[in-house]
Amino acid sequence: MFKFIVKLHPEISIKSKSVRKRFTKLLASNIKNMVIRVHEDAKVIQNWDNIVVMCKSQDEATRLGLIDALKRVPGIVQFIEVQETTFESLDDIYQVALSLNKDSLKGKTFCVRCKRQGKHDFTSSDVERYVGGGLNQNIEGAQVKLQKPEVTVKIEVKNEFAYIVKETHLGLGGFPLPTQEDVLSLMSGGFDSGVASYLMMRKGARTHFLFFNLGGATHEIGVKQASYYLWKQFSSTHRVKFIKVDFEPVVAEILENIENSQMGVVLKRMMMRAGSAIAQKLGIDALVTGESVGQVSSQTLANLNVIDRVTETLILRPLIQHDKQEIIDIARKIGTSEMAEAMPEFCGVISKKPTVKAKLDKIIAEEENFDFDVLDTVVNNARIMCIKEIEAETKEEVKEAESAAELPEGAIVIDIRSPEEEDHDPLELDGIEVKHLPFYKLATQFGDLPKGEDYYLYCKKGVMSQLQALILHEEGYTNVKVYRPE
């Protein structure tokens, strides 16, 4: 039989009696929901100072599955895997300890540590001396060392039972779901938004996902995959929502009507406006972003201050003081780094010289040129779904449009960069016709181009052109490829 003892987070233990009881009950319920998926006979017992997980199976795959499940439950700081035994004497405890440690202690220094509860005719120190002496005498090369040993043999005695610790496993820490209020996380699929979402789940907040689509179907599939993974790994004990907003019309409005250096801040303010409206509709009181001070131009303190002024909704930034490498390290630990590395950066939404000290009055003046009916429309058309509904979609293969480093005779290249980018660095190709059509106008104007020609989309990084080519393919324009010069 496998047995695990889940220790309560110290921050739970110091809560008032009623709060501690509620938190422990939620944690036990979440643990049960996870472990019964591993084995239907797994049992969870809630005690005042711990939670016990037991399963009669002897299958090693089941044991590993239980360990993996417990490691992914927010609110568990650590849990110990134990061998439970009854005893009549100290020698009974020693014999079990010997059978569990005879191989691992060979040639190593060790000590024995015991915790005891209940009425016994021996002390914790008596257990340590008796068991330690026996192991020292009967395991080849083993040597007692009380300070900084290589191995610590841990024993807990509670009333008529003794628990010899086989292994201690670390959990996520944090608080059980959903001990905090719901939050709505702005999810781009990159390193920052994924880690920020995870940290809020870990803190006990049921985290819903809000996706502003700037890059078509391919971007949507990637973000859905990342969101579903995070939910499945760390939050699947509770239902959450995934909300998609088609933000390309908003980007187009910004690119055409907002002064270049102010675009980044205005874009973020539009996202906060939209996020606040959707959060209010869902009864959620806080937004979550992956912003970190100084990481990019829109994330200076001055710009964040101007961005926050657009809404009264609480904006949480769990990564605000993290370095980029720290964020990447967390992403690797939780398993989102590969998805984040594959997530494209969108080359058409970046100002040439973005402001790092936005002034509120200037931003408000710029926003007077913005048609807010566009923002209202995309918010009203937002698609809200249960995260479970996208399971099948996360398995969908993402196709790639054909790309070419060299262009055939008669090819027509369409430069889809923003007008500012094209003016700054014009694309000139000998013997090849180059047309300029910004990506945000492709959907409405590509159909006006002559039929029967081969078109090659171009942008600096090749990412936006790949995404836009896929969108055009979906609309039946199979004569569209991507130009990717070496």
The phi, psi pair for 460, rounded to 5°, reads -60, -45
Structure token digits, residue 5: 């003892």
Q: Do 71 and 169 touch, CB atoms closer than 8 A? A: yes
- Sequence ranges of the domains in the chain: 2-170, 182-386, 390-483
How far is residue 252's CA from residue 439's CA, in Å, rounded to a whole number?
A: 9
Q: Which residue has the tokens 């599955």?
A: 65
Q: What is the CATH number of domain 2-170?
A: 3.30.2130.30
Domain 390-483 fold is: Oxidized Rhodanese; domain 1 (3.40.250)
How far is residue 289's CA from residue 62's CA, in Å, rounded to a whole number?
A: 37
How far is residue 325's CA from residue 165's CA, in Å, rounded to a whole number?
A: 36
Question: Selecting from 1.10.10.10, 1.10.1030.10, 1.10.1240.10, 3.40.50.620, what CATH number does the domain 182-386 have?
Answer: 3.40.50.620
- How many CA atoms within 13 Å lie on the side-chain side of 173? 5
Residues marked as binding?
Answer: 186-187, 268, 290, 299
Burial of 100 (0-12, 13-18, 19+ CB in 10 A): middle
Identify the DSSP state of 203.
T
How far is residue 475's CA from residue 172's CA, in Å, rounded to a whole number?
A: 45
The question of whether 114 is a catalytic residue gets the answer no
Angle, CA 253 vertex, CA 247 and CA 255 arms, to 5°: 100
pTM for the structure as a whole = 0.78
How far is residue 137's CA from residue 144's CA, in Å, rounded to a whole number?
A: 10
Residues marked as binding for ATP?
Answer: 186-187, 268, 290, 299
Terminal CA-CA length for the chain = 60
Q: Give Cα separations from 166 to 97, 98, 99, 186 (angstroms).
A: 9, 12, 11, 42
Containing 13, the helix (H) or strand (E) segment is helix 10-13
Q: Which residue has the tokens 């920052």?
A: 192
How far is residue 125's CA from residue 116's CA, in Å, rounded to a whole number?
A: 10
From 55, 111, 114, 459, the catalytic residue: 459
pLDDT one digit per residue (tens) for the chain, 486 residues: 899 999 888 888 889 999 999 999 999 999 999 999 999 999 999 988 889 999 988 888 999 999 999 999 999 999 999 888 899 999 999 999 999 898 889 999 999 999 999 999 999 999 999 999 999 999 999 999 999 999 999 999 989 999 898 888 999 999 999 999 999 999 988 899 999 999 999 999 999 999 999 866 667 877 888 899 999 999 999 999 999 999 989 998 998 999 988 999 999 999 999 999 999 999 999 999 999 998 887 889 999 999 999 999 999 999 999 999 999 999 999 988 877 876 755 544 556 688 889 999 999 999 999 999 999 999 999 999 999 887 766 555 456 778 888 898 888 999 988 787 788 888 888 889 999 998 878 878 888 898 888 999 998 767 678 778 877 887 888 899 999 887
Identify the DSSP state of 119.
-
